[in-house]
Structure 1
Amino acid sequence: MTAHQPFSQQVLAELLAFDEQPSLSLYMPTHRTFPERSQDPIRYKNLVRELQTQLENQHPGLDCTPLLEPFHALVDDQDFWNSNRDGIAVFGARDYFKVIAVNQRLPQCAFANSHPYLKPLLRLVQSTERYQVLCLTRNEVWLYEGSCEQLEKVELAEQVPRNQNEALGDDLTSGDQQGFPNGFSRSSERGDPMMHESAGGGKQDEINLDRERFFRAVDKAILQYHSQPSGLPMIVVALPENQAVFRAVSHNPNVLAQGIEGDPSRLGLEELRVQCSKLMAHSHADRVVDSLNRYGVAVGQGRALDNLANIAKAAWESRVALLLVEAERQVPGQLDPDKGRLIIDETGDEQAPDVLDELILAVTRQGGEVIVVPPEHVMPTDSGAAAVCRF
């Protein structure tokens, strides 16, 4: 059976590496239940036929068999078609074949080009980005990693202290102190801890200082051994008061401004995943709005571009810091890779390359940021793209 793979930054890096060679990209919605599921292999086979026709037209003397063989093999893989989710993206190139399965609907299309067609996938990654979840109590820490589809517990690096004893050792305040070691007063009538420090002064101050030092040690180790290697955004799950203390001492730029307030030890894994997914969706919506605002500011500063030809030239010159692309728009044509010149295709060919996708590739390869703007947001230009220049 052909294995599904999740989309990741590693997969994106692999796809970006393919350039100036025949590359095949196929997207289609799939179905989880019968009888709709039984039609998926037929639709897929028709799309593969489209790929073959495009390849033969673009490269008349090329032996297409090695490129198409893994695509054809998938047609008869019944186990694969019985285990699908809501959509697949399939990519092929010389000595490369990858199937990405997602829990969202994808457009139905097939493109043969000199590079992979990435716009539908980039739009998807903005809403299915992987993230890490840091769970904190006053004396414990644990970590998850996942996406909107699933969460899995991560084995902490040995350098990360699991509790205050590991972090503070002999400096930990003695356990026979007076007061309330959790930093709260007695329970309220509902059984919830009161949200204020008890006692104040003396031992309680030492207990609070232990928590602060523990959180500093956790933050430093998590940043060095988990956040920096992964580059993933991080959601903090902790009681409100612990959230405040951790954020006050944290130097981790990957920590999201909004966390989940509650006792992580009382959250089931599925409940945690649902809450994290909602938070990530809000975060991505905020990111789109922030990017549109950045473009508005750049207009006033004279660093904004709305003309496709000018954006193409700026992308070729590595001057684009931020590219906004309209999700539902296609502009037939391509970029001259040697001069950055825009070549619009006016033949009406439905299989012509998409200029917007080529801009995405050019800007991404030059280290710029790309935001695919979904239909619920209004694009600030009529061209299908907008750019903020570095200078």
Structure 2
Amino acid sequence: MTQPTRPTPELLAELRKPRPYPAVSVTLPTHRHWPESQQDHIRLRNLLAEAEKRLADDAEVTKVQAAEVAQQLATAADRLDPEYFGDGLVVYASPEEHRSFLVGGSVPERIVINTTYLTRNLVALEARERPYLVLVLSTGEVRLWRGQGDQVAEDHDSGFPVISSGAERDKAPSRDGGQWTTQDFRNMLMEADRKLTAVLQASPFPVILVGLSKHISIYREVTRHGQALATELEVGGLANATPAEMSAQLAPARQALAEADTARALRELDEARSGKRYSAGVQDIWQAAGEGRVALLVVEESLRVTARPDTVEGAERATLTLLEPEEAGVVAGAEEDIIDSLVETVLSADGEVIFVPDESLADAGGVAAALRY
């Protein structure tokens, strides 16, 4: 069965474009492990059956459109395997297409029929898992990996791996590591660094440098991208690692990246406070985000806020009415987690979003922002 892939920024932009009615979005919390995951497929079928019923009862949807969307939903379900489920599932369908995504964060059980797909869950989850690059140094080659969250894959399309041209790559290293200082080895590192230039221009992500201490030291001597090197992992033997092995090894490096992001976010909030560009609390930030004034949104990982966006003087979704979680399915227009919508609004206006550990923003109600003005 074909498994869904993580959406690229380009695909997310495409998914957010308006579509002819009906565009159906289905979100479902799922389980990573058996036997719970076996029930997820049944729950998905039941949810899709409910979506089909809503389409059939919708006066704005023709019988032909309803049948076409129902077929797209069925095809999407057939291509999903519970064995690979994560924490959540997102399915989109219209008369002409269907797309499915396994996600690593919780989503509500929900059906939405509109002229756009409900992308805020995907957008928010993507923001929680920042992309990064991994440069793996070894005796005779340099490999490039791309990662996001705990998912990693080797990049074979950017001129990597870079292979040493010298015969010395086949020699055993001397005890003092002297072999690694040969010109051939340096040439290989410089060639990899040149190819990294184009990669960083297209994908300006932090770089994790992986290799033996001596390898890393020499690469730092020759690189022109020192500012992009976010953290190091001193370990060898990963030249032929599987994605699962590489992901496990990178866990400490991912933690280091997260800690660096948190430190930078709190520092920028302090600077914004000093410059009177600081906002705290979901209601105040919501209004600033709607005006495109949020440069940096900082959110605690576990923060969930139920609220209803309200229209004020003709301006749609201008303010928020905070609600209790149990009111999400009762109050018209209520959103179970308004934070997802807030994140999407900020990103749509070219703002940045950083998630930080719980209690990092206790004095701000779990969410704060640095404003543009």
Q: What TM-score do the two structures reach when normalised by structure 2?
A: 0.74
Deviation, 1:12, is 2.5
Unaligned runs of 5+ in 2: none
Residue type of the alignment partner of 1:237: V
Q: Which residue pairs with 1:322 in the alignment? A: 296
1:26–1:89 CA contact under 8 A, matched in 2: yes
1-structure distance, mates of 2:36, 2:54: 28
Identity %: 23
Q: Among residues 196, 203, 206, which one is paired with 1:222 in the alignment? A: 196
Q: Residue by residue, what CA displacement relative to the aligned partner does 1:181-216 show, whole Å, maximum 9, x if unpaired?
A: 99x8x52xxxxx46xx69xxxxx9xx5566545433
Matched, 1:344 2:303: no
- Structure 1 CA distance, aligned partners of 2:353 and 2:345? 10
- Alpha carbons of 1:25 and 1:385: their partners in 2 closer, same or farther (altered >3 Å)? farther
Residue 365 of structure 1: CA displacement? 1.5
Provide the C-alpha distance between the structure 1 equivalents of 2:6 and 2:119, rounded to a whole number of angstroms.
Answer: 15
- 8 Å CA contact 2:309, 2:320 repeated in 1: yes
Query: What amino acid sits opposite 1:367 in the alignment?
Result: D
Q: Shift of residue 99 of structure 1?
A: 0.8
Taking a change above 3 Å as real, the CA distance of residues 144 and 258 of structure 1, as seen in their structure-2 partners, is same
Q: How far apart are residue 219 of structure 1 and its match? A: 0.8
Q: 1:89 to 1:254 in 2, by over 3 A?
A: farther
Q: Per-residue deviation at 1:69? A: 1.5
**2:128–2:354 contact (8 Å) kept in structure 1:** no
The 8 Å contact of residues 16 and 365 in structure 1, kept in 2 or not, is answered as no
Counterpart of 2:133 in structure 1: which amino acid? Q
Is the alpha carbon distance of 1:263 and 1:75 closer, same or farther for their aligned partners in structure 2, counting shifts above 3 Å?
A: closer
Gaps in structure 1 of 5+ consecutive residues: 166-173, 176-180, 188-192, 199-203
Moved more, 62-71 or 327-336: 62-71
Q: Which moved more, 1:264-273 or 1:278-287?
A: 264-273
Q: C-alpha offsets along residues 58-96 of structure 1, whole Å, 9 cap, x if unaligned?
A: x7534472684256415873x634443223222345644
Contact map agreement 1:322 1:387 (CA 8 A) in 2: yes
Distance 1:56 1:342 in 2: 33
Give runs of aligned pairs for residues 149-298 of structure 1, distance below 5 A. Answer: 151-155=152-156, 157=158, 162-163=163-164, 186-187=174-175, 193=176, 211-224=185-198, 226-252=199-225, 255-264=228-237, 268-269=241-242, 270-298=244-272
- Distance in 2 (CA, whole Å) between partners of 1:157 and 1:54 is 46
Residue type of the partner of 1:356?
Answer: I
Alignment size in residue pairs: 357
- From the superposition, tell whether residues 277 and 121 of structure 1 become closer, same or farther in structure 2 (CA, over 3 Å): farther
Please give the TM-score of this superposition, normalised by the length of structure 1: 0.71
1:142 maps to 2:143: yes
Per-residue deviation, 1:320 = 1.6
**Structure 1 residue 51: deviation in Å?**
5.1
| Equivalent residue for 2:274, pick from 278, 300, 321 | 300
Q: Are the aligned partners of 2:41 and 2:82 in contact in 1 as well (CA < 8 Å)?
A: no
Counterpart residue type for residue 236 of structure 1: L
Residue matched to 1:389: 371
Distance 1:100 1:323 in 2: 25
CA contact 2:277–2:372 (8 Å) conserved in 1:
yes
- The CA deviation at 1:261 is 1.1
Is the Cα contact below 8 Å between 2:207 and 2:228 reproduced in 1? yes
- Judged with a 3 Å threshold, the aligned counterparts in structure 2 of structure 1 residues 21 and 321 are, in CA distance, closer, same or farther, namely farther
Q: Note closer, same or farther for the CA distance 1:280–1:212 as it changes in structure 2 (3 Å cut).
A: same
Partners of 1:369 and 1:164 lie apart in 2 by 42
Question: Hey, what's the Cα distance between the residues in 2 that align with 1:41 and 1:291?
Answer: 39
Mapped contact 1:308–1:342 kept (Cα < 8 A): no
1:317 to partner: Cα distance: 3.8
Distance (whole Å) between structure 1 residues aligned to residue 282 and residue 20 of structure 2: 22
> Whole-Å Cα distance in 2 between the matches of residues 287 and 153 of structure 1?
24
Query: 2:101: which partner in 1?
Result: 100
When residues 303 and 127 of structure 1 are mapped into structure 2, their CA distance, relative to the original with a 3 A threshold, is closer
| 1:333 paired residue number | 309
